[in-house]
Amino acid sequence: MKLKNIFLRNCSNCRIICASQQFRARDCKSLYLFLHCLTKPTIEACENIQVACYSFFYSQLSDQFKLAGLTVFNNSWSQVYDFGGAEGTQNWSLLDPVSIQYFGLDIHLSVVPRTLGVRTDQSIETGLVIFFPDGNREKRAKAYIREMAEKSVSLIVVCSLVATKEFMMKEVEAMQIFKTDSYNSIVGRGPVIAIQHLGPDCIKKSHQAAKTIALETGSTGLVYVPSNPEIAMEQIKLIFNSIDLPQEKFSSPTIANKEITESIE
């Protein structure tokens, strides 16, 4: 069964963890929301709404996401749209990441990767990694996210996870992103997973972590990491701002490994 919509109305003083394709709240106040939402969450006539990324885990949860037609990599939780919000008023805010620990939520075990959301300072160096379809892309992507988290042991060198996205990349989109047709033959074989991190020396750290994961899983030719910060930022804007997400979960065909050009060296 696909879980399409969650609609809250006349709720107050609640803490809610939920995952769905669409989330709406109306006539609510004083809510803590931990969301996984494919589309932008919407609120109307609400007050004091604090929003955070979905963080939860139990042994069957990953399978339940798949049965519900949801991918853990597509989460628009921070892009809240306030219907009818008066100009100059702020009816919602992003929950401070430090505060999440007080709710007893372990972000490291969470099935859904915890992302920073739209509050990110885009002036800081940002890194991009793209995992192409090979039957193991989801496993590689999750391993890469863990690798980056484990390497960020100091606040001085931390690289934070900003956004993730799983989508079918069209050939015309691949041409726009990579400026070459070298990837056209592989993007049509299944969804790709794009991951954005941000922090000091992030390009180098992303490249090292992606190469480690790729080598451990057998091929470097199915992972793309740009080495130029300007190119990375341009590609991130195209991927995360210009390409629309599908409304339902897509199938993920398994294919044989095939090396492609201009990947990790």
Whether the per-residue pLDDT at 264 is higher than 60: the answer is no
264 with 222: CB under 8 angstroms? no
Say what the pLDDT of residue 250 is: 46
In the chain the domains, ranked by start, together with CATH numbers, are 1-113 (2.160.20.70), 120-265 (3.30.70.141)
Q: Which helix (H) or strand (E) holds 197?
A: strand 192-198
Average pLDDT for the chain: 84
Please state the pTM of the whole predicted model: 0.86
> Which is higher by pLDDT, 150 or 183?
183
Residue range 217-229: average pLDDT?
82
Query: Which of helix, strand or coil describes residue 138?
Result: helix
Whether the per-residue pLDDT at 261 is higher than 60: the answer is no
Distance CA 214, CA 221 (A): 8
Q: pLDDT by residue (tens digit) across 32-41? A: 999 999 999 9
Kindly state the DSSP code that residue 47 receives in the 8-state scheme. Answer: E
Residue range 135-146: average pLDDT?
92
Summarize the annotated binding site for GTP as residue ranges. 21-24
C-alpha dihedral, 93 to 98 to 104 to 106, nearest 10°: 110
Summarize the annotated binding site as residue ranges. 21-24
Say what the pLDDT of residue 256 is: 31
Kindly state the DSSP code that residue 99 receives in the 8-state scheme. Answer: G
Say what the pLDDT of residue 34 is: 94
CA distances (Å), origin 141, targets 45, 128, 134, 258: 38, 12, 12, 18
- Least confident window among 40-54, 101-115, 118-132: 101-115
Whether the per-residue pLDDT at 197 is higher than 50: the answer is yes
CA atoms within 13 A on the CB side of 42: 10
Distance CA 164, CA 78 (A): 13
